[in-house]
A = this chain, B = another copy of it.
Amino acid sequence: MLVLDLIGVAVFAASGASAAVAKRLDLFGVVFIGMVTALGGGVVRDVVIGAVPPLAFTDWEYVTTAAVTSLAMFWLHPQVDRLRRTMLVLDAAGLGLFSVVGALKGVDHGVPMVGAILVGMITGIGGGVLRDVLTKEIPVVLHREIYASASLLGAAVIVASTHFGLAKQVPMTIAIVLVFGLRLLSLYRRWSAPTPRVGSTSG
């Protein structure tokens, strides 16, 4: 479990560091954005559910994984950028894992169903939202592709399964695979969420 979690951290850190390199931040900025992208969603989750200090501050494996990955990206980004497709697949897996594990942690801390689904989504997309805000972009999840919706679906499935008292193992796997599959399918088919029709009175 910890190993899976750390893989998720590494993938998200790589995505954050890569965005920071593209913005020409310095070494510290690249590592900082990488760490915020990897750990930010979990920190917000833990603060909201009252599990403080957050995991990212108590378990050194998380910080170290995020920092080392981001450092590596500082030098290796041209090579890694060529692996864009692999990165997207890993990122989809990380999204599924974070959303489902985050929602479960919400349930374990007594958050009711609707709230726990939100907690799962925040865990999944929170780091990326913070990355975009810090690099002065409108968060990409708010205007492109199916990403947060996949996260929401996975969180909803796992929260519903706990509601019916099911064992965790199987529903977790199903929920993670659902997020992963929906995310990849939407990338492959270029699905997007609908955008508002804009008349003369707005925009």
Contacts and interface: CB of A to CB of B under 8 A. Distances in A.
Interface of A: 18, 20-30, 32-33, 43, 47-50, 52-54, 56-58, 60, 63-64, 74-75, 77-78, 81-82, 106, 109-116, 118-119, 129, 133-139, 141-144, 148-149, 192-196, 198-199, 201-203
A92 B48 CA distance: 28
Contacts of A52: 47-50
A149 B28 contact: yes
Contact of A56 (B56, B115, B194): B115
A109 B58 CA distance: 11
Given A63-B114, A193-B28, A47 B49 contact: no
Taking the full assembly, how many copies of this chain does it contain?
A: 3
A126 to B, nearest CB: 12
Contacts of A21: 196, 198, 202-203
Nearest to A116: B57
A111 B53 contact: yes
Contacts of A137: 136
Contacts of A144: 26
A111 B57 contact: yes
Contacts of A109: 53
A198 B77 CA distance: 9
9 contacts: A21-B198, A25-B143, A27-B195, A28-B148, A43-B48, A48-B53, A49-B57, A53-B110, A63-B118
Most buried by B among A29, A78, A139: A29
A179 to B, nearest CB: 14
A198 B82 CA distance: 14
B26 A115 contact: no
B29 A142 contact: yes
Given A52-B50, A202-B18, A27 B138 contact: no
